[in-house]
Structure 1
Amino acid sequence: MTDNENEHVKLAQRITDMLCQLNEGKALDTKQLAEQHRVSKRTIQRDINQRLMLALPMLGLNDDGLYALPENYYLGQLNNDDIRHFSILSGVSDLFPNMDRQFLHRILNENAKFVYESKGQFNEDGTKFKALFEQLEPAILKKHKITLYYKGSYHLLEPYKLINHRSCWYLAAVKDEKLKAYRLSFVKELTIHDNQPSFQHSKEILKQLETEESIWFGQDKQEAILTISAEVADHFRQRSLLPHQQIVKEMDNGGLLMSSQYASSVQLLSLIRYWMPHIHVVSPESLQSELMDGLKGYIG
């Protein structure tokens, strides 16, 4: 297991531990959890703010200053399947070696803290979206139309799903029969039209949400061909790091020739910059030119 996988499994261990404590009616003591899992108190606070409170917005501080659920809420109702489902929603399930009952019990064992740890997680602060989540969840489930004040104008939308893409939260919603993504951090006002008839989900939109890997909905995609150096090739073999990536050829020097389907140069260029100098754009030339112009502007 790589260091990165170890770190994510340790994160999963902490989250699962906290979920089980809440399920048993216990309150979360950040200091005690930090000592138990051998991390800083700030790390535990981040776990709660950026992971737990997104799925459990009713989680809050009790009279003793500890994090707890309201009395009789979910107590004793969470099982291994619930914890596994939460892990999927919080984006850590694919980082586990597996998600069976045996593994869940193993990472909850006290000895697991000597084996696993998670570091380097950088996520948007989900606590600021608590009110939006509490409003949008029933609106999505009940298929109520909404109005957002977003980037200076009002948008009448049919909300479909809340999506976390590259650590930022978006609302996938239909406007004028087109699926679009609205970043929650830019939402200033939200109105739920629960006094109006509900809308019906489109099968085409649901299929699009299921198959699309990013939040660049409804845009024609272009193909980029890139070379990946041998030094980092294993990272690209092990997981999809580029949008709709495919290995075109394994090169004699250990590197890769890859293709990527992208909707916007912004979507791909940020990833290319991250992996430089181990990645090079073969085509299209316009993408390579935009990359070089941006680098020259940054340097000069």
Structure 2
Amino acid sequence: MKDNGSTKYDLLIERLCETFGALYQGVTIDKNWLCERFGIAERTAYRDLARLAHVLDEVSNGRFKLTANLLPSLHMGHLAEFANFAGVAHLFPHHDGQSLRKRMNNADNIAIHGASSRENQQYGDLMNSLDKAMTDRTEVTCFYRGKSRRLQPYRLINHYGLWYLAAVEQGRLKSFELARIAQFAATQIAFEPDASIIEELDTTSGIRFGKRTDVTLHVSAHAATFVTRRPLFPAQRLLKEHEDGSITIATAISDQNTLFRWLRYWLPDIRIVAPATLSTAFMKDLQARCEPTTSEQPQDA
């Protein structure tokens, strides 16, 4: 039978081994992490940190990672980082590296149908050049849609599987599809990043930029289920749930044509409540599209 001293040291060894395993997978630890993970007192946690001090690097006040020369080139922590970077972490109930690795081990049990994309290998050099220009904050030139452009590049955006460059041209933030960029050239002309541009990029979903208009929409009970389970509109928020199951939502748009395309798709389940001018514009646009062209007009007998 083991005595108390032997049991105590066995627990210490198990605790340190588990801690080192977490560190090896890229986890950052501190005294709180140790206390919560193992149910130990702060004094014991400090002693454990002292025991591991020779293999730890302090990354911030009281927080530690495994020293760089002991970290593997690729670990489960990187897997979680990539899931966040690619915007797919939210697909899974748990998206820490270990949980994602477990899902991948059972890949035959899961199918993910996301946005499709063209083959992007041909844009590798362009993306590398743009990445350098964005890091260095230097302007670039290119030929786009029949016109020479001088751009201040800010960000690369993947929107529904296609890559776009968010850049400022003549004071306006615009999006440029990489597939349409030709005659690209970097310059040595530096520019000062605009904080308002960065804020707009951080708060805008999609590739439509500019002044946004607040819009109120009524959604039928039939469509409410689809609209609430996954937001369909930028900055979508629920305003009211009605007794018949329908809802009223708000959104903010910078391009009315994009909104009109969605409304035509969801007719007659979603309609504009306000502003009235936008509702009128949509009805006129819809009517114009429904009118027959000259070639479709009936001929006199």
TM-score normalised according to structure 1 size: 0.65
Q: Of residues 232, 244, 248 in structure 1, which corresponds to 2:223?
A: 232
1:1-300, aligned counterparts within 5 Å? Answer: 77-109=73-105, 112-119=106-113, 121-193=115-187, 196-218=188-210, 220-283=211-274, 284-296=279-291
Residue identity in the other structure for 2:161:
S
Residue identity in the other structure for 2:180:
F
Residue identity in the other structure for 2:201:
L
Higher relative contact order (CA 8 A, sep 6+): 1
> Per the alignment, in what secondary structure is the counterpart of residue 182 of structure 1?
strand
Deviation at 1:160, TM superposition (A): 0.8
1:237-279 residue CA offsets vs partner (Å, 9 max, x unmatched) = 2332112222221111111112222111222122223333432
Aligned length: 220
Residue identity in the other structure for 1:224:
V
Deviation at 1:128, TM superposition (A): 3.7
Residue identity in the other structure for 1:143:
R
State the percentage of identical aligned residues. Answer: 28
TM-score normalised according to structure 2 size: 0.65
**Does structure 2 retain, via aligned residues, the 8 Å contact 1:281–1:288?**
no
Structure 1 residues 78 and 232: alpha-carbon distance in aligned structure 2, compared to 1, 3 A threshold: farther
Rg bigger for which structure?
2
> Per the alignment, in what secondary structure is the counterpart of residue 85 of structure 1?
helix
Structure 1 residues 118 and 176: alpha-carbon distance in aligned structure 2, compared to 1, 3 A threshold: same
CA distance in 2 between partners of 1:223 and 1:280 (Å):
14
1:48-84 residue CA offsets vs partner (Å, 9 max, x unmatched) = xxxxxxxxxxxxxxxxxxxxxxxxxxxx522233222
Deviation at 1:297, TM superposition (A): 6.1
Please tell me the root mean square deviation across aligned C-alpha atoms, in Å: 2.5
Deviation at 1:151, TM superposition (A): 0.8
**Does structure 1 retain, via aligned residues, the 8 Å contact 2:204–2:234?**
no
**Does structure 1 retain, via aligned residues, the 8 Å contact 2:139–2:153?**
yes
Deviation at 1:295, TM superposition (A): 4.8
Structure 1 residues 94 and 132: alpha-carbon distance in aligned structure 2, compared to 1, 3 A threshold: same
Deviation at 1:197, TM superposition (A): 4.5
**Does structure 1 retain, via aligned residues, the 8 Å contact 2:123–2:178?**
yes
